Amino acid sequence: MPSDRPLAALAERLHVPAVAEVPAPHLGLRWRAVAEPDLDQARALIERCFEVDRPISRLCPAEITERLVGTAASAVESLGGFSHDGLLRAMATVYLPAADVDVLRAFLTATIDPRWRGQGIGRALLDWQDARARQLIAADGRDLPVRIGAYVDEHLTDRRKLYVAAGFSPKRVYEEMRRPVAARLPQAPLPAGLRLVDWTPAIDDAVRRASNEAFADHWGAEPMSPAAWAVARAEIEPAWSKVAVTADGEVAAFALTSRHEHAWPRLGASEGDTERLGVLPGYRGRGVAQALLVAVVRALAADGVETAALTVDTVDPTVRGFYEDLGYRREGARILYTIEI
């Protein structure tokens, strides 16, 4: 949540540089924005890095497009480094969600071909990203708290050191958890007065509005506009996504689960990823979340899917215990590094 301390003027706090310097020519690459015709090269670069970095999660194709060229849900600046043979060897983005109301956020991502690492390109890109993020946030003009952040897998220690050296601090840890679908499930009926339905386009906006309400008291959450929501649920599987509704059809809770088939070969198993689980305040503490997750796993089993996954904010250890009681086990984590301004 935003701090209660008085804020200095936005531009004063940001120390906005006059120029965001691109990496120097001696690094051996030619720099320009990554455009839509470059998306195939960008995906190929991500694949080459995957073999070395083994990330715990992967962006779906819609997310890659959004992070590189932008959509109505975001403002994006990208920078690509191309070798003399025209191949994309490095890229960086500054991604600003368009609908932030409490904290102005900029998220940074960078990808460098393994053969081009160890030459200072990563630090040069981070300098450009930090400068460009400050410029873009200053252009917004609203005197709100500012967060410049980047997610780093915990096992990528060199990358974590890079962010710390640049003034970023670890702010939050998000654990990736999985369970075999075939493992035993507890009995978990919905409380009286609620019934379970599958997600459908007809109730999509009601679920979006319920999600904004359910996450309003969560750290780092911002309301999701229809455009941002459309990207976030790009690979949702309706039969695996369960919604608890009242007798009047009002949304009380939801568990939205995606089918990321592009990731299955790397995982070595088919998987349903419950990416958004929320319960409105008036229905918490009554077993609704457990009932939804049990229903999700049963739906996965009915489709022959092998594993169920989700991501957990570890700030509250009791939350992890809740998922462990349902058979989920930790398989890795991402750390959010931030500069808070």
- Give pLDDT, residue 1: 39
pLDDT at 70 over 70: no
Report pLDDT digits (tens) over 39-61. Answer: 999 999 998 998 899 888 766 66
Beta-strand ranges (E) seen in the chain are 30-32, 74-82, 88-97, 104-112, 146-153, 169-180, 194-198, 242-246, 251-258, 271-279, 307-313, 329-340
Write down the mean pLDDT value for the chain.
91
pLDDT tier at 267 (50, 70, 90 boundaries)?
confident
Does 3 fall in a domain? no
Among 167, 197, 228, residue at a domain's last position: 167
Q: Which two tokens stand for residue 203?
A: 């109730």
- Give pLDDT, residue 3: 44
Name which of 67-71, 83-87, 229-233, 258-262 the model is least confident about.
67-71
Among 167, 192, 226, residue at a domain's last position: 167
Report pLDDT digits (tens) over 121-130. Answer: 999 999 999 9
pLDDT at 17 over 70: yes
333 close to 153: Cβ distance less than 8 angstroms: yes
Q: Name residue 175's beta-bridge partners.
A: 312, 333
- Give pLDDT, residue 141: 86
89 and 218, same structural domain?
no
132 and 88, same structural domain?
yes
Residue ranges making up the domain that contains 308: 176-333
pLDDT at 5 over 80: no
279 and 130, same structural domain?
no
Does 262 fall in a domain? yes
Does 154 fall in a domain? yes
How much is the average pLDDT of 75-93? 94
DSSP, residue by residue, 80-146: EEE-TTS-EEEEEEEEEETT-SSSEEEEEEEEE-GGG-SSSHHHHHHHHHHHHHHHHHHHH-----E
What percent of the chain has a predicted confidence (pLDDT) above 70? 94
202 and 123, same structural domain?
no
Report pLDDT digits (tens) over 301-313. Answer: 999 999 999 999 9
> CA of 176: how far to CAs of 12, 194, 329, 334, 340, in Å?
38, 29, 8, 8, 25
pLDDT at 194 over 60: yes
If one counts the domains in the chain, the total is 2
pLDDT at 277 over 90: yes
- Give pLDDT, residue 9: 81
Report pLDDT digits (tens) over 317-338. Answer: 788 889 999 999 999 999 999 9
Among 113, 141, 167, residue at a domain's last position: 167
> CA of 192: how far to CAs of 189, 195, 245, 246, 339, in Å?
9, 8, 11, 9, 45
What is the CATH classification number for the domain harbouring 324?
Answer: 3.40.630.30
Report pLDDT digits (tens) over 197-234. Answer: 999 999 999 999 999 999 998 898 888 989 889 888 88
DSSP annotation of 247: T
As a whole number of angstroms, the distance between CA 256 and CA 293 comes to 10
